[in-house]
DNA sequence: GCCAACGTTGGC
DNA sequence: GCCAACGTTGGC
């Protein structure tokens, strides 16, 4: 899951311990959230920041439920099409697991052949939520312990 | 249903 | 700040 560290960082998550991942307004990303199961592990990725990369691990603590911020006119991510009957957008609750001692930068991720098919590394990928395979996850976890 | 225009994302 | 790559919107 991507986040801009200036907006909501791994340190914010560490402090909050749990947060509702609201504000996703892209159908593909929403569908990926919908498919998540409680306990699933998540990499937290800082985009548009220095350094860019994977900064830690979180997990799903509550499965997809309606994102009420879509119905809040004052919210940055307000969507006039969303209603209580048809909320359109959903979110999951995310719990802090750990912060890596160092960020695994995008530049470094790109050097790993085992990760070359990773969704987040594909050119032009702008999806804020992308799936990670088990082998990709294991590999990155190992890299994090260097 | 097509597609141009537009807005956004995000790496560089 | 630039720009490629998208997703969305709206006229036709």
Question: Which spans in A43-131 are helix H?
Answer: 106-111
For chain A, the average pLDDT equals: 95
Interatomic CA–C1' length for residue A81 and nucleotide C9, angstroms: 14
**Where are the extended beta strands (E) located within A9-106?**
18-20, 41-47, 53-66, 90-105
Interatomic CA–C1' length for residue A102 and nucleotide C6, angstroms: 31
Strand C: residues with CB below 7 A: A 26-28, 122-127
Section A118-132 average pLDDT: 93
Q: What is the pLDDT of residue A121?
A: 94
Residue with tokens 């006039």: A80
Contact A136, A121 (CB under 8 A): no
Q: What is the pLDDT of residue A115?
A: 95
Q: What is the pLDDT of residue A124?
A: 84
* pLDDT over 70 percentage in chain A: 100
Q: What is the pLDDT of residue A62?
A: 98
Q: What is the pLDDT of residue A28?
A: 94
Q: Torsion-angle region of residue A103: left (phi > 0), alpha (psi -120 to 50) or beta?
A: beta
Section A118-133 average pLDDT: 93
Section A125-131 average pLDDT: 94
Residue with tokens 């209603």: A83
- For A59-117, what is each residue's pLDDT tens digit? 999 999 999 999 998 888 999 889 898 899 999 999 999 999 999 999 999 999 999 99
Q: What is the pLDDT of residue A146?
A: 78
Give nucleotides in strand C with any atom < 7 A to a protein C-beta.
4-8
Contact A96, A18 (CB under 8 A): yes
Q: What is the pLDDT of residue A111?
A: 95
């Amino acid at each position: 899951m991507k986040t801009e560290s200036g907006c909501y960082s791994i340190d914010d998550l560490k402090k909050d311990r749990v947060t509702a991942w609201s504000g996703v307004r892209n159908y593909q990303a929403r569908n990926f959230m919908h498919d998540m199961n409680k306990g699933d592990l998540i990499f937290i990725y800082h985009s548009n920041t220095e350094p860019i990369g994977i900064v830690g691990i979180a997990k799903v603590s509550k499965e997809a439920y309606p994102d009420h911020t879509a119905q809040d006119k004052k919210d940055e991510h307000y969507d006039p099409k969303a209603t209580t009957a048809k909320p359109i957008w959903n979110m999951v609750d995310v719990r802090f697991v750990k912060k890596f001692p160092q960020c695994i930068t995008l530049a470094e991720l790109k050097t790993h052949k085992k990760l070359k098919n990773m969704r987040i590394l594909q050119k032009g990928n702008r999806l804020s939520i992308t799936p990670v395979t088990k082998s990709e996850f294991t590999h990155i976890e190992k890299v994090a312990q260097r």
